[in-house]
Amino acid sequence: MAEEVLAEMVSTVQEILVSVGDKVKVNDAVIMLESMKMEIPVIVETEGTVTSINVKPGDVLKQGDLIAVIS
């Protein structure tokens, strides 16, 4: 089952820490966001493979925007 990784708040994509095809484990950070001058790691809640990354550095996200998919 695929996990959609969604933005939890308005933020800017600072850095992408994984690539499509990378294996991730529970609690791995996949993206670093910035909001109100704070760095916020996006943590996955499931183990799997990154099947898509839907953002790029500099993108401004709203709450609920799709960041990545883990299968």
Alpha-carbon torsion angle 64, 24, 17, 29, nearest 10? 60
**DSSP-based three-state secondary structure for 4:** strand
Q: How many CB atoms lie within 10 A of CB 2?
A: 12
pLDDT of 1-53, one tens digit each? 788 999 999 999 999 999 999 999 999 999 999 999 999 999 999 999 999 99
| Rounded Cα gap, residues 13 and 49, in angstroms | 21
Q: What is the pLDDT of residue 52?
A: 96
Direct distance between the N- and C-terminal alpha carbons of the chain, in angstroms, rounded to an integer: 6
Prediction pTM value: 0.88
Q: What is the pLDDT of residue 2?
A: 86
Bridge partners (DSSP) of residue 2 are none
Residue 54 has pLDDT above 90, yes or no: yes
